[in-house]
Amino acid sequence: MGSLALSRVEALDRPAPSISDEVARIARQELAPLASGIDAGTIYPAELLRSLGKVGAWRSHVPQEGPADLRCAIQSIAALGEVCGATAFMAWCQNTLVWYVANSNNLKLAQRFGDDFSSGARLGGTGLSNPMKTFFGIEKFKLKGRKVEGGYVVKGALPWVSNLGPDHFFGTIFEREDEPGSIVMFLADCADPAVTLQPCKPFLAMDGTGTYGVQFRELFVPDELILATTAAAFVKKIRAGFILLQVGMGLGLIKDCIQIMDEVHPPLGHVNRYLPQQPTQFRELHAEFEKEAMALAADPYNAEDSYWRRVIALRLRLGDASVAAAHAAMLHCGARGYLKSHRAQRRLREAYFVAIVTPATKQLRKMLAGD
Ligand SMILES: Cc1cc2nc3c(=O)[nH]c(=O)nc-3n(C[C@H](O)[C@H](O)[C@H](O)COP(=O)(O)OP(=O)(O)OC[C@H]3O[C@@H](n4cnc5c(N)ncnc54)[C@H](O)[C@@H]3O)c2cc1C
């Protein structure tokens, strides 16, 4: 009786778990058993994504009357990434979708979708890879649209969009054929009959992420689904958030690679100490990235060029370090990590995704070069 009363007092004394603590708990208890199925592509974890929404994982970064703070969202994505890179990526997709809606001036759209997306009742993602590459002179817009009464008609195809399903939404951009130079950002409704989701060929990893090729056949996009009629200015506002949220994927992955190296230290430390890269180095790097990410994430609307360059530089270093940490984890594990059943090889495959997802390493280097 005494100890029961005491534990109740202790429970009252303890602060309520933060959103990222709750996300970390779900990651350990519910995501860990699914990770290999998600990796194999046999599971798309829709229910888990909805559960994460219920504990607030998709709403902490919604701006409250002015400033926005991405720190909790990044920490939450990192907690998922520590267990499963594919799920961390889906978390980024969902959080990015919420970010678009929360920053849109289309209040009707924000009212209609804001809560549904941020609560996880509706899932979805983002198709900005092609536009992001186009802004930096790497590709041309794949979607074209023209103004009609009450909206626009859009055609074209995007090769890969993730966290999709038959009732999902995603934000993307088309170029106006009838007004050269104008671009419009909108929400695509996967349930529309003019939208086709095409299954992709198997990937190296990320097969459980609900990734499809998406075709638009003369899709009518009503004004109610327009995120921004002048998408260029809108993208300037959301771009730092778009990139910073990706940092969570790398932070989580690097942390687990350090854990993998630590796990094999007792049996193999006597020989692993000859390897050039040691967990201590990655611990220092992780702490440095986390500190920089938290500083940048507290100020995502900062429009200064020096801030933007810091965001790009951090993102570039994170991609490089993810691959390096996963590579080091493989070397520390030896034959143990070469088993398909060991997560070290999954982490390596996932790490390459951090380095190639838009903005990919090569694009980030181009951006920093100012070309
Ligand atoms: C698993 C996965 C999930 C992704 N999810 C999303 C998402 O949710 N949203 C999003 O916007 N983007 C998504 N992407 C795209 C991703 O962000 C990058 O754009 C992509 O990895 C390529 O980037 P890159 O800069 O290296 O371009 P590159 O690979 O250098 O060039 C890309 C271009 O090359 C061409 N190309 C590439 N592969 C082929 C092929 N097999 N056959 C013919 N042409 C080809 C296409 O024109 C493509 O646009 C996803 C990619 C993958 C692999």
Residue 220 belongs to domain with CATH number: 2.40.110.10
Residue 67 located in a structural domain:
yes
Residues 112 and 150 in one domain: no
What's 24's domain CATH number?
A: 1.10.540.10
Distance CA 91, CA 110 (A): 20
Q: Yes or no: say if 91 and 57 are a contact pair by the CB < 8 Å rule.
A: yes
Residues 253 and 345 in one domain: yes
Residues 113 and 100 in one domain: yes
Ligand 1 pocket mutation pick from 39, 92, 160 by most atoms within 8 angstroms of CB: 160
* Average pLDDT rounded to a whole number, residues 184-200: 98
358 in ligand 1 pocket by Cβ < 6 Å? Answer: yes
Q: How many domains does the chain divide into?
A: 3
Q: In the numeric block, which tokens belong to residue 15?
A: 């602060």
Query: How many alpha carbons fall within 13 Å on the CB side of residue 349?
Result: 17
Residue 6 located in a structural domain:
no
Residue 357 CA, ligand 1 centroid: distance in Å: 8
Nearest ligand 1 atom to the CA of 128 is 11
Torsions phi, psi of 126, nearest 5?
A: -145, 140
Residues 288 and 178 in one domain: no
Residue 266 CA, ligand 1 centroid: distance in Å: 41
pLDDT value for 66 = 83
Per the document, the length of the chain is 371
Residue 162 CA, ligand 1 centroid: distance in Å: 11
Given a cut of 50, is residue 195 above it in pLDDT? yes
Residues 243 and 264 in one domain: yes
Residue indicated by tokens 């080091």: 328
pLDDT value for 10 = 52
Residues 38-68: tens digit of each pLDDT: 999 999 999 999 999 999 999 999 998 889 9
* Total-model pTM: 0.95
Q: Yes or no: say if 63 and 103 are a contact pair by the CB < 8 Å rule.
A: yes
* H helix intervals, the chain: 2-13, 19-26, 35-40, 46-54, 71-81, 85-103, 107-119, 129-135, 231-263, 265-272, 279-297, 305-333, 335-338, 343-356, 361-369
| Residue numbers of the domain that contains 92 | 19-119
What's 341's domain CATH number?
A: 1.20.140.10
The DSSP element (H or E) to which 146 belongs, if any, is strand 143-148
Distance CA 10, CA 368 (A): 51
Distance CA 176, CA 169 (A): 21
129 in ligand 1 pocket by Cβ < 6 Å? Answer: yes
Residue 10 located in a structural domain:
no
Average pLDDT, the chain: 95
Distance CA 352, CA 35 (A): 17
pLDDT value for 15 = 63
- Which residue puts its alpha carbon closest to atom 39 of ligand 1? 159
* Average pLDDT rounded to a whole number, residues 10-34: 85
Residues 89 and 164 in one domain: no
Nearest Cα to Cα of residue 221 among 128, 124, 154? 154
**Apex 168 CA angle, 164 and 163, nearest 5:** 25
Residue 9 located in a structural domain:
no
Q: Of the candidates 119, 151, 182, which is a domain's last residue?
A: 119
Residues 264-283: tens digit of each pLDDT: 999 999 999 999 999 999 99
Residue 241 located in a structural domain:
yes
Q: How confident is the model at residue 13 (pLDDT cuts 50, 70, 90)?
A: low
Residue 293 located in a structural domain:
yes
User: How do beta strands 151-161 and 212-222 pair?
Assistant: antiparallel
Residue 325 located in a structural domain:
yes
Residues 112-149: tens digit of each pLDDT: 999 999 999 999 999 999 999 999 999 999 999 999 99
204 in ligand 1 pocket by Cβ < 6 Å? Answer: no
- Which residue puts its alpha carbon closest to atom 50 of ligand 1? 160
Nearest Cα to Cα of residue 20 among 248, 246, 288, 300? 248
Residues 35 and 91 in one domain: yes
Residues 164 and 78 in one domain: no
Query: How many alpha carbons fall within 13 Å on the CB side of residue 16?
Result: 3
The residue ranking higher by pLDDT, 76 or 66, is: 76
Residue 74 CA, ligand 1 centroid: distance in Å: 24
Q: Yes or no: say if 60 and 73 are a contact pair by the CB < 8 Å rule.
A: yes
Distance CA 359, CA 130 (A): 10
Residues 115 and 101 in one domain: yes
Q: Of the candidates 200, 231, 262, which is a domain's last residue?
A: 231
172 in ligand 1 pocket by Cβ < 6 Å? Answer: no
pLDDT value for 1 = 36
Q: Of the candidates 78, 96, 119, which is a domain's last residue?
A: 119
Residue 3 located in a structural domain:
no
Residues 230-250: tens digit of each pLDDT: 999 999 999 999 999 999 999
pLDDT value for 12 = 54
- Which residue puts its alpha carbon closest to atom 48 of ligand 1? 159
Given a cut of 90, is residue 97 above it in pLDDT? yes
Residues 189 and 256 in one domain: no
User: 195 to each of 92, 148, 156, 221, 321, how far by Cα in Å?
Assistant: 23, 18, 10, 11, 38
Residues 198 and 277 in one domain: no
Residues 82 and 174 in one domain: no
